[in-house]
Structure 1
Amino acid sequence: MTTPLTVMLGDHPHTRPLKDGTVPVTGVDCRYLESSPLPPAFARMVRELAYDICEMPTATYLQARDAGVPVTLLPAVLVGSTHHRSLTRLPEGPDIAPGDLAGRRVGVRAFGQTTGLWVRGWLQEEYGVTSSDVTWVTTEDVHVAQFVNPPYVERSKATRVVDLLRSHDVSAAVLGPKAIGGQGAGLVPLVADAENAGLAWARRHGTIPANHLLVVRDDVLRTRPDSVLAFYQALKKSIADTADERDDSPAGRAVTAGWSASLTACLKIAGRYAFEQGLIRQPVDVEAIQKDTAFLDT
C-alpha cells in the first residue's frame, strides 16, 4: 500500500475543499495535518523536513533554498496582499512618516518574516530607508536555523510585537495580515492612504506580494512525481472552484496556482529584496526555480 502524503496547509477557503475531501487527490492518500498557530510548522519543515508538502512563507522559502534545505517550490500562492498598511504606529504617538524611521527602532515578529521583507523592500524603494538604517526589534527567531541575524537586529523578551509599541520600545511596528485585525486593532499606518499606495506598488511591479507559497520535499518530488502532480492538480481545481469566494482586492487576486508572469515577477522582486536585506547570500535564479517544476503545468 502506498505511503500517504503528509500535507500541512493553513485553513483557507481554497484549501478546505482538499482537507474535507470535496476535491479529492486522484489516486493519492493525503494526510492533512494541523498546526495552530501555523508558523511553528514552517520551522519544523525547514529544520526537520517534517512534512511531504507544506505551505511556506516566501521569505522562509528563499532562506531555506539559500541554506541548501532540500525543498522545491510548487507554483501556488496561498496568501498574499499589499503591505503598505503593515507598517503601523500608535494612534496617540508621534505622527512619523516612513522616511523618518532611519535611526529609529521598529518592531517585527522576526527579521525573516515575509511581511517584513516586503515592508523593508518598499521602504528602500520609495523612501530611501535601507534595512541597516533601522534597528529591528524582534519577538521570535527566524524559521531557518542556519541564518544569523545581522547586527542591527535585536531580540526582545516581549512575546507580541504590539507590546513593543505600547511599551514605547519601538517607534513603529510591522504586522502581518492577521495581526493587523488582531493584536494590531486600533493602530494606524505610517503611510498616508496606504491602500492606494499598495495598489500603486502592485501596478508598478505587475504583481501582488506573495506571503505564503507551497513547497515539496525534494525526495518526495523525485520518488513520487505522479503523486505530487495529482496533489497540485487538485489544488489548482480547489483554487478555481473557490474563485467566487474571493473579491477583487489584492488579497483576493493574489491566490493563484500555476507559473505566470505575475508569479515570476513576484519571486524576482522578493529575491532581490531578500538579497539586498541580507536575508540570503546569493541572488535568486527564478528561471532555475521554474524549471524544477515546469512539468506541473504542461
Structure 2
Amino acid sequence: MMTAMSVLLGDYPHTRPLKDGTVPVPGVECAYAQASPLYSAFARMVRSLEYDVCEMALATYFQAREAGVPITLLPVAMIGGTHHGSLTRLPDGPRITPRELAGARVGVRSYSQTTGLWVRGVLREDYGVESSDVTWVTTEEPHVAQYREPENVCRSGAAKVADLLRDGEVSAAVLGPKAIGNQGAGLVPVLPDAQEAALAWIDRHGTVPVNHVVVVRDEVLAAAPQAVAALYEALAASIAATADQRDASPAGRAVSAGWSDPFVASVRIAARYAQEQQVVREPIDLDRIVKDVPFLDA
C-alpha cells in the first residue's frame, strides 16, 4: 500500500531528482507543493500544519519547537552559507563600523529570520555588539504566532527591507542571499573584508551556517515512520547524486543530509545564538532533537 504524503521543498538542483522521479521514494506517493516566495509556506506550516513534510528556516523551527508545534527536525541542510556580507549599507551613504551599530537602527525582514540570527551572532562574537544594543526595524511579523519579540524590535510599514535603508529609516539592513541580488542591488557590506571574515568564521567553527532544514509532522512520523524514512533516504540520495553540481563555496558545502559533525555544529551554534538574542527564551536540547528521529543514529 502506498502512503500519500504532501511535501513542500524548494526548487534546487538537489531536489530536482526527487521531484522528477529520477530518485524514487519506495512506498510513498509524494504530492509536491509550491510556494512563492518559499518562506511564505513556513508560517502556514507552523500555524496550521499544512504539509506532512516541509522545508523550514532553522530559526522558525527553533521557535515552533519552543511553542509546542508538533513537528520533528530531519537532519537535512537544504541551503546555507555565510552572512557576513548580508549586513549592508548604501554605497554613497555614511560609512558605519560594526561597533557603531550599537544604538543604531537596523532593518531586517523579520527579527526571527535566520539570516538575521547569523548576522547578530557575528556582531556579538566578533565586534561585541549585543542584539539588545540595536533597534531592529522589521517589515514582517514572525512565522510563529506565539512568539513575542524583544522590546528593541519594531515594525515598519515599508514593503521591503532595502526601502528602509534608502528612505533613511535605518543605518544598515540585513538582506538574505536572494534579496542581495534583487532589492539589495548596489548595496555594500558593512563588515570590513566580509568574504575573508566569513572564511575565518568557518575555519574557527568547523562548519557553515545552515539556513533551511526539513521538518515532518509528528502525527505523520508516528503513523508512518517507514514512509518518512523512505522520503528522507530518497532526499539524501538526491543530494548525493547532485554533489558534482555544487562547488566548494560555503553555500555548496552547506547542503547535506545526516547528523554529520558540521551539521550538528551549525545547529548547535545557531541554537546558542537564538537564546542569546531572545529568538527563543529557553536552551535548546539538541541531544533531544537528535533522539526524536527514530530511524537515524547520530
Q: CA deviation at 1:17?
A: 1.2
> What are the superposed Cα offsets for residues 47-105 of structure 1, whole Å, 9 maximum, x if unpaired?
00000000000100011111111100000000000110000000001111111100000
**Structure 1 letter corresponding to 2:128:** G
Aligned equivalent of 1:184? 184
Aligned equivalent of 2:201? 201
With structure 2 as the length reference, what TM-score do the two structures score?
0.98
Q: CA deviation at 1:295?
A: 2.1
Percent identity of equivalent pairs = 65
Aligned equivalent of 1:104? 104
Task: Give, in whole Å, the separation in 2 of the partners of 1:125 and 1:85.
Answer: 16
**Structure 2 letter corresponding to 1:194:** A
* Contact 2:3–2:227 under 8 Å retained in 1: no
Partner secondary structure for residue 213 of structure 2 = strand
Superposition pairs of residues 1-298 of structure 1, within 5 angstroms: 2-293=2-293, 295-296=295-296
Q: CA deviation at 1:294?
A: 5.2
Task: Give, in whole Å, the separation in 2 of the partners of 1:246 and 1:97.
Answer: 34
Segments of structure 1 that go 5 or more residues without pairing to the other structure are: none
Q: CA deviation at 1:293?
A: 1.4
Task: Give, in whole Å, the separation in 1 of the partners of 2:96 and 2:280.
Answer: 30
* Contact 1:232–1:296 under 8 Å retained in 2: no
**Structure 1 letter corresponding to 2:19:** K
Task: Give, in whole Å, the separation in 2 of the partners of 1:294 and 1:108.
Answer: 37
Which moved further from structure 2: 91-100 or 107-116? 91-100
With structure 1 as the length reference, what TM-score do the two structures score?
0.98
> What are the superposed Cα offsets for residues 28-62 of structure 1, whole Å, 9 maximum, x if unpaired?
10000001111110000000000000000010001
Segments of structure 2 that go 5 or more residues without pairing to the other structure are: none
> What are the superposed Cα offsets for residues 237-271 of structure 1, whole Å, 9 maximum, x if unpaired?
10001111110000000000001111111111111
Partner secondary structure for residue 145 of structure 1 = coil
Q: CA deviation at 1:232?
A: 0.5
Task: Give, in whole Å, the separation in 2 of the partners of 1:129 and 1:51.
Answer: 38
Task: Give, in whole Å, the separation in 2 of the partners of 1:221 and 1:17.
Answer: 23
CA RMSD of aligned residues (A): 1.1
Task: Give, in whole Å, the separation in 2 of the partners of 1:193 and 1:245.
Answer: 28
Number of matched pairs: 298
Task: Give, in whole Å, the separation in 2 of the partners of 1:43 and 1:254.
Answer: 24
Task: Give, in whole Å, the separation in 1 of the partners of 2:11 and 2:260.
Answer: 24
Q: CA deviation at 1:217?
A: 0.5
Partner secondary structure for residue 121 of structure 2 = helix
